[in-house]
Amino acid sequence: MSNSLLVQATILSPNHSGRRNQKITKIAIHHAAGVINGRNLAGVFVPRSRRASANYNLGSDGVIVLGVDEANRAWTTSSSWCDNRAVTIEVGNSTRGPQWLVSDYVLNRLIDLATDICRRNGIYPCTYTGGKDGVLQKHEWYKNTNCPGPYLGSKFPYIASEVNKRLRGDKTVSKPTSALYRVRKSWSDIKSQKGAFKNLENAKRCADRFGLKVFDANGKIVYPVGKTIDQLAREVISGKWGNGEERKRRLTQAGYDYKEVQRRVNQLV
């Protein structure tokens, strides 16, 4: 038995049962219920008091961190039956509830990882049957939980079909990271990165949420620079910036003059 070569870091959790007592025949995909990078996500499961873990932690930044060796049974799905058979994956979200979105980039990384798990463990086809008999498993079938959330949950048939395409030899891989839009405080402040997105609209949503900026592959700001007060006022009216104190805080954090924007809003409504 082996671990995936897609792993970019190893932050092992002590929370597991040792060797699994079943052959790997399943993959349980969870969502982290949070926007969190791969290393921090793995770190959540390091304290023994947490009494939980996952074989792989795929962060909102697309970074894959090994948490429990594949050979061992992780404590992820609230089911000995499932976790003994399944390689388990926690996936970081790009937004919080109620939608709990996952970025296209992270979804693609997840498909890469699931493909690799199937390939090394002789699983084909990768099935989603909507039940415990299929390969792809949902936490909510074993426990009263909202995991993996409405968005990721709706993608299970797509994930299965993409994995099978790749297993059949379609060499589609994740877009090179250089083509991504990165959401950071500044280009040089790599640690401030909250996400990397193929889709500019998703990157903008993330930037708005955290009061950050979107940079292209060359480090050029593509958002929110160049927005006029008028554009911002119309965004406020359409609800993009929330209300009251939240609106004030988010506009200010994004580097805008809240009073000026609000004045234009009052003129327009």
Closest-CB residue for Zn ion?
Answer: 147
DSSP 12: -
Q: Does 85 bind Zn ion (CB under 5 A)?
A: no
Pairing of strands 26-31, 86-91: parallel
CA distance 107 to 115: 12
Residues 136, 160 contacting (CB under 8 angstroms): yes
Q: How far is the CB of 263 from Zn ion (least distance, A)?
A: 46
Q: How far is the CB of 147 from Zn ion (least distance, A)?
A: 3
Q: Does 138 bind Zn ion (CB under 5 A)?
A: no
The vertex-147 CA angle with 126 and 141, nearest 5°, equals 65
Q: Does 139 bind Zn ion (CB under 5 A)?
A: yes
Q: How far is the CB of 16 from Zn ion (least distance, A)?
A: 16
Q: How far is the CB of 144 from Zn ion (least distance, A)?
A: 12
Q: What are phi and psi of 83, to 5 degrees?
A: -70, -25
Six token digits for residue 56: 């792989």
Among 4-12, 26-34, 165-173, 177-185, the segment contacting Zn ion (CB under 5 A): 26-34
Among 138-146, 164-172, 192-200, 216-224, the segment contacting Zn ion (CB under 5 A): 138-146
Among 23-31, 125-133, 155-163, 179-187, the segment contacting Zn ion (CB under 5 A): 23-31
Considering only 16, 20, 26, 30, the residue that binds Zn ion (CB under 5 A) is 30
CA distance 173 to 181: 18
CB burial of residue 177 (10 Å; 0-12, 13-18, 19+): exposed
Q: What does the binding site for Zn ion look like in residue numbers (CB under 5 A)? A: 30, 139, 147
